[in-house]
Amino acid sequence: MEGLQALHGLRVVEMGQLIAGPFAGKTLGDFGADVVKIEAPGAGDPLRNWRMLQDGTSVWWQVQSRNKRSIALDLRQPDGQDIARQLIAEADVLIENFRPGTLEGWGMSYEALAAVNPGLIMLRISGYGQSGPYRDLPGFGVIGEAMGGLRHLTGEPERVPVRCGISIGDTLAALHGTIGVLTALYHRKVNGGRGQVIDVALSEAVLNVMESLIPEYSAFGAVRGPAGSALPGIAPSNAYRCIDGVVLVAGNGDSIFKRLMQVIGREDLANDPALANNAGRVVRVAEIDAAIGTWTATRTVDEVLAQLGPASVPAGRVYTAKDIVEDPHFRARDMILRQQTRDGHELEVPGIVPKLLGTPGAVRRSAPRLGDDTDAVLREIGLSAEQIAALRDRKIVS
């Protein structure tokens, strides 16, 4: 129907917490899925209290949990597990990112759940996956980034590796999980309605985006190491100092390189046959970087961009949060959205990606308070007001 979002009608139960599982739930929710988030009574998802708080709640929470409903349910109690099973019996997708074996210990293996709901798609995100010798080890995103090879490449040579400043391993796992869910939904539609398990390991999600790292080792025994802001084997592509900051320049295309050298007044390098292709430029990358850096060092970032832009040389400044929210292009693309929290605050948050032009995503609901939707969700599975009150008295729900 016209006006409905792409995932309208999709029912999702989210049993994860913190970052990886909930980011997958948030992504599905942005495109119309009804996401019911199960949280522990009392504290809820720890992300509610991470980083900077507004009226006692993390502003991060307002992004991670938009378009979700919250039910506070104690999964450690058998009656709480029974309610979860009832919710899952009506769901299309279950998201969980507990340590492997946790759901099985609660009597909620995929086999048991699928016996009641054969079409169920279960997304399982963990540090190392549901099998293998490391299966039972605890694994957060930082460990997945290290094991997947990312941390070895970040930072400067001969120095301690650095992180990129966000939990990128968790987010990569969530995005791979979301791809898995959408793939499994299509398979279910065209192959008899059967669901399946999607097994995502944080370490593998990171490894999957490591480009040529493994084949280079396989073919040449090359162990790639950290290279600061440069991109080894691709030249020139680096960060260069200006009078008032840093500019990123990617002049690694053959024709782009020639235009770049002409702009900086190095016709000798622009017309050097040895530098006409990437292989030749890689050999002399230090010389090329020095030439670019000498030119940028006497100019402001704005001056550099003003000259490189018209020459069709990819270049950009390093954005801060302030730069992002003030950028007219992000504004024009609806990448800075204003939403209201349940406590009445106006908050600017990142927009929705990707952009579906026919059935775009939207923020339909602000992030819930803990247990905001407990009663409504329980009524949907047939519980009466008296039954809900009894569960609340026994502290199974709140």
Active site residues: 170
Q: How many CB atoms lie within 10 A of CB 358?
A: 6
Do 207 and 264 form a contact (C-beta atoms < 8 A)? no
For residue 124, the 8-state DSSP code is: E
**For residues 326 and 350, what is the distance between their CA atoms, to the nearest angstrom?**
13
Do 65 and 37 form a contact (C-beta atoms < 8 A)? yes
- 74, burial (CB in 10 Å: exposed 0-12, middle 13-18, buried 19+): buried
Taking alpha carbons only, the member of 337, 242, 250, 343 closest to residue 288 is 250
Q: What H or E segment, with its residue span, contains residue 232?
A: none
Residue spans of alpha helices (H) in the chain: 20-30, 59-64, 78-89, 102-105, 110-116, 141-147, 150-153, 168-190, 202-207, 213-220, 254-263, 267-270, 278-283, 285-296, 301-308, 321-326, 328-332, 374-380, 385-393
**For residues 165 and 44, what is the distance between their CA atoms, to the nearest angstrom?**
25
Q: Please name the residues in contact with 179: beta carbons below 8 A apart, sequence gap of 6 or more.
A: none
**For residues 79 and 98, what is the distance between their CA atoms, to the nearest angstrom?**
19
**For residues 258 and 366, what is the distance between their CA atoms, to the nearest angstrom?**
50
Do 48 and 37 form a contact (C-beta atoms < 8 A)? no
**For residues 241 and 296, what is the distance between their CA atoms, to the nearest angstrom?**
6
Which tokens hold the place of 128? 């190392």
